[in-house]
Every structure is written in C-alpha cells, then in structure tokens.
Structure 1
C-alpha cells in the first residue's frame, strides 16, 4: 500500500483506490485508464479530508454531535446535521492542503471552469449506490470559489440525508471519509444517463436517457427525458420514446447553474441521432466489459464530441427466477401510465408530497406521489409501498432509489400529482408503469406492503470454496447475503483507522481495554453473520503514513516509501504491545466459542517471522496448536519458500495479489509513469502463484486468494484449473465468481471423462 498524497490525478488512480478517492474518483481513474473519453480531473483525497479533521481540531466535536443519534426523529436529525455541517464549514482548511489544491488547479489552468463532485469512500459501491447523498457544485471558477466548493462537499458528508442513509445502510459516520473530484466542466449541449444492461432484468440492452443541456436535469428528474433502447446482440436501436422536454439546466454566468425553458422547436425533437446512440452504447459496453458488471454511466455531448462523466455499478439487477412472476390484474380502470422504473405490485392509499413539509404524512404502506423525488425524501420513500412521479425516467433519483429499496415505482406519468387525491386507493404495477383505480387493501388502515414474488434459484455448489472480502463490519450483512462460504479476508486496519487514534495512543493513554473492545466488537459483527463458516482476520497492515494523520501519529517515522516500510507482521513483531492488543481481542472471541476464527499474518517474507508471531501468541496465552493460523503470500519470497512455511506449521496461505504483482515486477501501480506495466497476469506472477498452489496441495494446506485478482472471472478460471482450494472475492463479484468456478469445475470433469473414453 503506497503513500496516498492530498491530490491524485486520474492517471494515477485505479478502481481499488476507493479508500483514498471514493467510488466516483476510482471509477473516473479506471475509465481514463481504459481509454474512455473522460474530461481532465484531479481528486482531493480522503486522506486530505481526514487530515483536515485532525489538524483543524474538530474531529472529536464533530463526531460527538452524531453519537447515539435517532435518525428517525426528523427534527433532531436536521438540527444535528446543521450543527455538524457548520462545524466543518467554520473550520480552517490547513494551508498545506489548500496550497496543493491551488497548485493542481493552476496546472489545469486557473481560469478553467470545473465541476466539484463529492466522492465518498462508501459511495457508488456495487452493493449500495448512495445516490445523491453528497453535493456536487457545477460551473466553479477561480481559487476562492474552488476552495469553498470543496469545503462544502466535505460538509455535505454530514447532511441529514447522508447521515440517515448511512445509518440505514449500516455504515458508521466515523468510518466514512470523503474525497472530492475537481473535473473540467463539460458544457453539454445534450446529456443524460445510460445503463449498459437493463437495470432490472440484466438483459443485454443498453438504455439511454437524454435531454438538452447539462445532465443534472435527467439525474434530478426535473425533466422526462427521451428514452432509447439499443440491443447489444443485434447492434440495433430497437425502441425509442421522444419525450416533451420543457426545461434544461445551463451554466449561470460565472457561478452555478440555472433552469431555463426549452424553445418550442426543440421540446419534441429527438435529442440523439442513431450514430450518437451507437457510439454511446459502444462506450457502455466497453465499461461493462472492463468492470465485468453492468454499469450506470453519465455522459455529455459538446459539438459532436462525447464525454463519459461518471460510471458506477448497477446495484438493482435481480436474479432470474424459475417461478411464475406476479402480474397485476388488468381489470381495473387505468388512471395513469408512465415508465415502469422498479418492478412489483402494491396497493395503498395515496399521499401527495408537494414539499418537504409533506414527508411526515407518509406512513408505512402508503403510495407516495410527487412531481419528482430528491435525496431529502429518502426517509419517506423507505416507508412507502410504492412511488409515483410526474417527471423522470429510468435513471432519475426516484427510479434508482426505488430499485435499490425494492419498492415498485412508476415515473414520468406527467399528471399524478394533479389527477390523484390524498387517501385515494390505487394499485401500481411497477414493471409496466401503470396505475390502476382501487385494489384490495391488506389491512384496516389502508396500507399494504409490496408482494415479493418468484422462487429462489437453487444455489450453485462448487468444490472450490467461494469466500468474500470484508473491509467494514457494516458490510457484513450484505456480504453474508451473497451466500459466500466464509470470509477470506477481514481487514482490521479499517476498524482501527476509523477510530482516528493509533494503537500507540490507546497504550500511552491507558485505554487498552477500549481499543480491544472496539476490535472485538467489529470482528464479532462479521463472525455473527457467518456463523460456523471460516472467517480469516488479517492482523494490522497499515503503513506509517496512514497512522501519521491520526491522534498519536505524531511519533510515526517518516518513510520514503511506506509500502516497503514498517508495516504488517514486521511491525507487530517489534511493537509487542500493539500485537498484544490484537491478540487479546482474538482471545475474547475464541473464549466465547468462535472457533471458526482464523488469523492471517500480512507481509511475511520468511518462515522465521511466522514462527516468531506464533511464539508471541503463545506467550500471550493462546493455545496456538489448536488455532487456525496462516499467512498472506504477497512477497515473492513467501511463494518461493512456501515449503518451509508449510513445515513451520501454517494451516492456510492466501495470495495478496495487489502487492505480489507490485513486488514481483517492481511496479507501483499508483505511479502514472509505470502504471501501464502493472500486469496481474504477468508470466512471473502466474509462475509464483502456480508453484505455491501446487506445493500447498501437496502439503495438505488450504490455498486461497484474496487480492483483486480473486474478483476477475478469467483469473479465477485459471486458478481453479491450477488447483486453488478457495477464492475470496469482493461482495459484488461473488455470484459471477461462483458461476465461473462451477463452469470450470464441470469442464475439468468432462475433459477427464472424455480422456478415459
């Protein structure tokens, strides 16, 4: 893990840099790397934000305002959020951070007009979209306005809607940082959003929504956009809907944006030509193929040139079921027709929301009706049995959030807020986008929850154990829902970094028990979701530069390259007390019967280090002969000496490919000068992995992988063919990796059978 500066340019960023640049920043860097037309940008990193909190002295005060907060109490939530945001805005940005930002902006051209976009480290993730929870500021020009916009983005991390959403998704406020993308503004003449595959069914049809002006009009839902459907199998436009587009959003002078009326001659004109649709669909396919998962992309066109502005995973595609899906009874009177944005059937009493003040009227099971929705409405949307809007399309806020919530939704009905009345009972078919009169209510207070239909697919069984990587306890429930066979990597440094204090701070301030309990509670949260399944916890592997920005970090050594420095087991063996605190947390879990807990030592270069760590654990009271202990294979020497490690008593080994590739090839993947040489499938890397797999199998030791390569189907195919015992993938990749492993295993069996005949 290399040192992360205050500023990173797109050329330096890859998709696994989310902890530093957030979901949006990582995605832009990855798209830039594969040649998609992305406007120039730099990112103010999450480390800069964390340093701002620490050096400005507001960290304790800020998080104190959010502790034990009842997010369901709207008044308390709003008041706490307002105080938290004011705390951030009133704090002085450190001069060194401000200097780095201004220097980067000057390189871009200090008169350049930019978009300043929040990029939270728990945003645009495969399992949670966090749509619109933090702010974006468009048409920003000049140093002072840029600095102000960045600080506003930081403050928006503590807005009411962001706090509420984090609480409901299981993310702790303290554990989420924010990066900020500063990107050259594209003065889009036409813009929109597209799904590389159908956002509900996953079918290979690219859906493109388009309108005039900046894309905010489509994303926010203030306009019902054109809708174009491109079949990736036949490479043809198979459907189009040309909407009546009344308004567009344009830059407003030197700062901000404005909403203006579209001239009559353009209101009903198609936004896109066939050629533009084909080009957009091609870019969508490139993004989906690269990420190996369907993507939700924002785009803009200026003078015939297409720009890709953002890409995130689609989080709402449902598995195909073998059972018969529920259908609405098309016998009632049709009141409204719009676009089916989120499937499902629901009946309930209408509540019309004309403003934020009306949100409290929405009760569990009501049908929420609004002109359009925005992130402030999410608490009410969670209660609603279904959503109906006047405006918007398949990619508007209402559609995205409804799909994530699993709530039926019809958008773009044009007149729902005028035709429907409060208390009126209606039935909505969210797949067809139709609203019917009446319906049979399920209970006396005229509310009903949407019916879940279909039958679950039989699970795919594989001989290769398919495990999941977990970074935060808050993600444990989502990780377990994948059906993974266990946790192949639980990184505890994220637990510790989230505390804002180094282990040494707890030791010096006689608060060791507090540290142990925090660690114990975080690991236990994950263990409880994976009852009886193996959970491999990696001991602390945080480089010194990450500790330096925390309380107690002032004594951290200055290292020229922390990635090659004092980290992993080499540090724990010298910092006995730091290692002891971790072991005490493990002991508490073992004493409570969590025998499925395995401990994995990182950055082990010689068997002597494993033996020394095992000896220290014994000294600290662990029955090491009856505990599962293993190593990360991330240094070439650990692969080459794998027989000696087996002889030393390891019970498992797991490849950390991110570091193994770097150390084998002498390539820093975050260095733009050599990043193109970072090759996960370099013959030398594959040879090391193959050798270690073969020796582990011969020695009866479980061999796994938990690096990024474990989420790559092509790599996993090779690993299974090579004989790996288990694979640990990212949460979003589990389904595809299990399917890949199953197909590969079947092929191996069939090939063997054919040879016998």
Structure 2
C-alpha cells in the first residue's frame, strides 16, 4: 500500500556490517519510514472491527504483541528483539501500537541479531497479535524452562515468578522467586517441588492510569509481599504439569511464559517457544573449567554458564556509554535489557546487580556462550571501573567474582570415549549446586552424599538450637536464627525443609540411580561452630574419636536433632518419591550401637526394608573390619 519495500532495502543496504558504526542511524531511518506512513483504510477498519468484537460492549485494555517468522526457532530465540505494548486502551491507541510493533522489526538489536544469525532482513516478516490482558498486575507472572537452563538437565522444570507484570522478570529488574519441579515425581503423583528460593521482588510492575504517558509503571513491593512466594505449592504443581504437557506436545524442551489473573485468580500460559541453547548440544562433550588459585570473593550472584573469564571491568549505566569493547571487556551494570544485545557479542563477560536465571540477560548470555553473573545486588558499587577481575561460573549455580587475575585451566572431556569399569563407579558429592551438571559424567550413582555441607551452607543452624531455641543464650545467635526461620511456622520446620531440599536435589539429579546419604558426622567442635551450637556441645580434647556419628543419634544430647534429620530423609523418600535415596550410618562402633540407631530411625519413620529403604554402615574404624570378619 505504501510501497516502502525498496526504500527499506536501500536503507538497510547502507549498514556497516563490519563494525556496525552506523547501526543506530540505520535503525532509526528504517523505523521512521514505517512510522510516518499510514495503514490502508481497509486494514485500519479490519483492526477496528476485530477490536470491537474482542471487547464486547465497552473498550478494554489489551496487549499488542509482536511475532516474527524467524522468532522462537530452536537455534534462534530472537528473545526481546521486537516490541510488545501492554495496557493499550481504545481503537486509536491499538492502531498506533500495531504500527510500532511493525516498526520494531528494525530495532537496532533486531537488525544486529539477524546479521549475526545470517537471516536476510527482507525475508523476515512480522505479525501482530492483540490479546485481552491477563490482570497479572493484580497478582503475579513469570517464565519457565522445561529443562534446567544452565546444565541442560532434562528431568527438572525451572519456574520463576514476580509480583505484577512479567516485564520485570524478563528485563531482570528484580530478583524473582525460583522453583525447581522434578518431572518423575510429577508423573508419579508425588510432591515434585525439590527446591524453592525466595527472591527479593522489590518492585511490582502495574498498569499506569490513563492520565500518565507510560502504559506501565513500577511501584515498591510491600515488605510482607517480598517475604511471600508468588505461587502456592498447588499452583507450582499445576504450572509444572502444564509445562510437561507443552514439552510432550512439541517433543522438545520449551521456554514458557505464564501469568495469574488477580481478578479471577486463574493461571494462564501466555507463550511457549523452543529452548535454544541445549537442544543442539552434544551431551557427550563437556568443557570443564577449574580455578587453580584461591582468593576472597568480591561479588557473587546467579551463575549463567560454566565458564571462567579474566578481563577488565567496564562499568556502564546504559549501552550508549559503551566505547571500544573487546572480548577482554566484562560489562558491569545494574540490569541488561534487549537494547544491550548488539554489545553482548563483543564482550567477554557480564555482571549485573539485578536479574535471575530466566531474565533476558541470562537467556541471551547462554545463547551467545558468554559467561554471566546476574542478580549480584552490589556489583556496581563494589567493582571499580577498569580493574582486572576473574569471573567464575564454574562452581555450581552461584557465580563468583574475584579481584585480579586468577589462574585456571580449561579441559575438554568426551564422555563418549569413557568406558565404565565392572566395579561400580559412584561419586562423592556434597554441594547440591553441582549435582545437575555432574549427573552427566559417567557414573553408577552417588556412593557418599555428605550431609554436613548442606547443613553448614544451607541450614547454618545447629538442629538442637531450633528444637530448644529457648536454651540459646547468645543474643546474636538468637537474632540470626530468628532471621533465617522468619518464614516458617516453627523453627524445626526450617531445618527439615532446607535439608530435604538439598538432599532431594542430589537424589533427583541421579534418579533412578542409587544415592547414599551419610547421616550427619560433624565432630563436636564442628557442631559448636554452627549458629547456636555452643550451647549444645560438650568440650572434648579429641573430637575425632569422641561424641560423633552413631553414638549421637540415640543420645539425649542430640536425639531430638537426629529426629529432624530423619524427617528430612523421610520427606525426600516418601513425600517426594525419591526412593533411590539410601542411608549410611557413620562411626558405628559395634553391632549393638547399630541396632540402637536402627531402632531410633524406625521411631522416626525410617524402617529398614520398608519402601525399599536400605541402611549401610561406613567402615572407617578397626572394630568395623574385625566384627565384619
């Protein structure tokens, strides 16, 4: 109608495809050409008619969303490249938003992305969908992946959520809640939520009033809502089931968006597209990165990828400030939006204050293979511009930034060339954050799951200090315990929940292979170092041979604490259905002591032989060998 195809081609032909020095100018010219032209009368009337049919008797707010032919492909997501407009009210506003969507085919980031991916600009078409708004501004929304997005572990679904509209989670403006759902437990009608992480959710995006120029705005989230999960367990499970159905329908891992209507309280899936990073990877080839030096952690956040990168910090407030970026540049900024995308392929790493694993920054970093640490909170205030730093995503789900250059090694492993021995080869594991990645290594399961690491790093509190909080004398310890357990109905529930999540993550990663968890084996001095521990531990000259292992479990000094360990294991095995979890008793001096432990375990719901429960003993003292013979 406007005959602008050739003028558009002429504008794009002037693009500097070597250095992209005129990218902004070319993008502006292309968008202006579209925006200054008019729709045909018949096209405008058709939109007007469809809008009236959608609204019924009175005009209602709608979402006007872009959808391009080259979007959401298995190897090119085009995430955030084109524009979407929310809370659009009235036929004239809808027509303007539709035109802006068409113009967004030529955003700077979309032009650069097509160039990088080898798409011809004239071959890509864009349509616009107009949908009734899900009133998530009055509730919550989020995204999900039907595989674990960092490792590609296929048996876990990751759901993330924030209060209000989902743009905050996509743009990485806030740190969201995260939920991991285990598919086999979901299919077997067991409790499938193996991990929950509370985000700060400091901002809530809502619709602006008609008097304001913007269609949406961010407001501060009330403290009580920051302390709440955005979804109930039943809602997490419902979304998990839907995600599973979507994946099974498309026969591939999927990236979905969801929203909850705050008026009707209904949940909706608003979008589904193929996951773009892991589907084409050779799972037999693994690049392992390992730091060879130790240093104090400078900043930490959510790790994206598994690489290590040494480079110079480049502190930026916006992409327009960027100059002379190289693969040695590590961008440090508050948050990453789609406007940053043309820069991200030029740099060696990304560090942000805000954002989660499902934010735009994380998705694009994964697709480009650029290591990133998002959601640090304080990166821009701690890191100095121009300073050399080491960015490490090689230590699990938490990424760490260190001052200066640390030595590291990079090693390619081809699992396809590794032959398993006749003897079972089982891993020794302690950190749940590494479990999904390590599950890809050739193995026969986990021969020793060290519970102590989970208690030290995740629980942090002595179990008896939770059972008998009134006996904790240290004021600072009491304050720390109150803070850690603030969202739990009672303090014992905190221990059971945190420990069961850590154990369940490892058991799920290797399911259905055997995972043997060793009951806690701290020495008295180590127990005393837990928060509140000093009030519950005797002083010993030689803790190595003292009050440890099996002898603690039936002792009045620790019996109630051991009951919490049993409750956590029972929850993993029976409630979550991870019956591949077995138990090992450490430092068991004789048969009588072993029988006492079995008896106390049975009192706490863990009966050997019931529901396939096997109980091992750890052979680590001379009496074990002598008695076995």
1:266 aligned counterpart, secondary structure: helix
Match of 2:147 among 176, 180, 197: 197
Match of 1:435 among 400, 407, 426: 400
The change in CA–CA distance for 1:65 and 1:432 in structure 2 (over 3 A counts) is: same
Match of 1:222 among 147, 158, 173: 173
- Asked if residue 454 in structure 1 is aligned to residue 412 in structure 2, the reply is yes
Q: Give the equivalent residue in structure 2 for 1:181.
A: 129
Q: Give the equivalent residue in structure 2 for 1:240.
A: 196
Match of 1:166 among 104, 114, 122: 114
Q: CA deviation at 1:284?
A: 0.7
Count of paired positions: 398
The change in CA–CA distance for 1:397 and 1:322 in structure 2 (over 3 A counts) is: closer
Match of 2:354 among 383, 391, 413: 391
Report if aligned partners of 2:298, 2:403 keep a CA contact under 8 Å in 1.
no
1:542-553, aligned counterparts within 5 Å?
Answer: none
Report if aligned partners of 1:321, 1:454 keep a CA contact under 8 Å in 2.
no
- Asked if residue 315 in structure 1 is aligned to residue 276 in structure 2, the reply is yes
1:297-308, aligned counterparts within 5 Å?
Answer: 297-303=256-262, 304-308=265-269
- Asked if residue 59 in structure 1 is aligned to residue 15 in structure 2, the reply is no
- Asked if residue 263 in structure 1 is aligned to residue 209 in structure 2, the reply is no
The change in CA–CA distance for 1:260 and 1:324 in structure 2 (over 3 A counts) is: closer
Once residues 86 and 18 of structure 2 are traced to their aligned partners in structure 1, the CA distance between those partners, rounded to angstroms, is 32
Q: Give the equivalent residue in structure 1 for 2:42.
A: 96
Q: CA deviation at 1:321?
A: 2.9
Q: CA deviation at 1:376?
A: 1.7
Q: CA deviation at 1:228?
A: 1.0
Q: Give the equivalent residue in structure 1 for 2:381.
A: 418
Name the structure with the higher helix share: 1
The change in CA–CA distance for 1:154 and 1:392 in structure 2 (over 3 A counts) is: same
The change in CA–CA distance for 1:452 and 1:249 in structure 2 (over 3 A counts) is: farther
Once residues 179 and 323 of structure 1 are traced to their aligned partners in structure 2, the CA distance between those partners, rounded to angstroms, is 39
Once the two structures are overlaid, the 10-residue window that deviates more, 241-250 or 95-104, is 95-104
Once residues 366 and 159 of structure 2 are traced to their aligned partners in structure 1, the CA distance between those partners, rounded to angstroms, is 17
Q: CA deviation at 1:220?
A: 0.8
Once residues 441 and 362 of structure 1 are traced to their aligned partners in structure 2, the CA distance between those partners, rounded to angstroms, is 22
Once residues 453 and 135 of structure 1 are traced to their aligned partners in structure 2, the CA distance between those partners, rounded to angstroms, is 41
Once residues 316 and 409 of structure 2 are traced to their aligned partners in structure 1, the CA distance between those partners, rounded to angstroms, is 24
Report if aligned partners of 1:360, 1:380 keep a CA contact under 8 Å in 2.
no
Report if aligned partners of 2:145, 2:254 keep a CA contact under 8 Å in 1.
yes
Q: CA deviation at 1:451?
A: 8.0
Q: Give the equivalent residue in structure 1 for 2:363.
A: 400
1:327 aligned counterpart, secondary structure: strand
Once residues 306 and 330 of structure 1 are traced to their aligned partners in structure 2, the CA distance between those partners, rounded to angstroms, is 48
Q: CA deviation at 1:343?
A: 2.2
Q: CA deviation at 1:308?
A: 0.5
Q: Give the equivalent residue in structure 2 for 1:133.
A: 81
Q: Give the equivalent residue in structure 1 for 2:318.
A: 355
Once residues 456 and 171 of structure 1 are traced to their aligned partners in structure 2, the CA distance between those partners, rounded to angstroms, is 32
Report if aligned partners of 2:299, 2:402 keep a CA contact under 8 Å in 1.
no
Q: CA deviation at 1:322?
A: 5.5
Once residues 328 and 409 of structure 2 are traced to their aligned partners in structure 1, the CA distance between those partners, rounded to angstroms, is 11
1:289 aligned counterpart, secondary structure: helix
Q: Give the equivalent residue in structure 2 for 1:342.
A: 305
* Alignment RMSD (CA, Å): 2.1
Report if aligned partners of 1:359, 1:377 keep a CA contact under 8 Å in 2.
no
Q: CA deviation at 1:345?
A: 1.3
Once residues 118 and 398 of structure 2 are traced to their aligned partners in structure 1, the CA distance between those partners, rounded to angstroms, is 31
Q: CA deviation at 1:207?
A: 0.7
The C-alpha deviation readout for 1:372-402, integer Å capped at 9, x for no partner, is: 1112212221121111111000111110000
1:272 aligned counterpart, secondary structure: coil
1:360 aligned counterpart, secondary structure: coil
Match of 2:160 among 165, 189, 209: 209
Match of 1:143 among 91, 97, 103: 91
Once residues 453 and 399 of structure 1 are traced to their aligned partners in structure 2, the CA distance between those partners, rounded to angstroms, is 24
2:169 aligned counterpart, secondary structure: helix
Report if aligned partners of 1:206, 1:230 keep a CA contact under 8 Å in 2.
yes
- Asked if residue 78 in structure 1 is aligned to residue 24 in structure 2, the reply is yes
1:131 aligned counterpart, secondary structure: coil
Once residues 72 and 393 of structure 1 are traced to their aligned partners in structure 2, the CA distance between those partners, rounded to angstroms, is 33
Once residues 391 and 91 of structure 1 are traced to their aligned partners in structure 2, the CA distance between those partners, rounded to angstroms, is 39
Once the two structures are overlaid, the 10-residue window that deviates more, 355-364 or 342-351, is 355-364
Once residues 261 and 304 of structure 2 are traced to their aligned partners in structure 1, the CA distance between those partners, rounded to angstroms, is 29
Report if aligned partners of 2:287, 2:410 keep a CA contact under 8 Å in 1.
no
Report if aligned partners of 1:351, 1:361 keep a CA contact under 8 Å in 2.
no
1:167 aligned counterpart, secondary structure: helix
Once residues 322 and 121 of structure 1 are traced to their aligned partners in structure 2, the CA distance between those partners, rounded to angstroms, is 32
Q: CA deviation at 1:409?
A: 1.1
1:606-685, aligned counterparts within 5 Å?
Answer: none
Once the two structures are overlaid, the 10-residue window that deviates more, 150-159 or 423-432, is 423-432
The change in CA–CA distance for 1:174 and 1:305 in structure 2 (over 3 A counts) is: same
Once residues 110 and 287 of structure 2 are traced to their aligned partners in structure 1, the CA distance between those partners, rounded to angstroms, is 38
The change in CA–CA distance for 1:276 and 1:438 in structure 2 (over 3 A counts) is: same
* Structure 1: 5+ residue stretches without partners: 1-54, 443-449, 460-757
Q: Please give the TM-score of this superposition, normalised by the length of structure 2.
A: 0.61
Once residues 67 and 322 of structure 1 are traced to their aligned partners in structure 2, the CA distance between those partners, rounded to angstroms, is 40
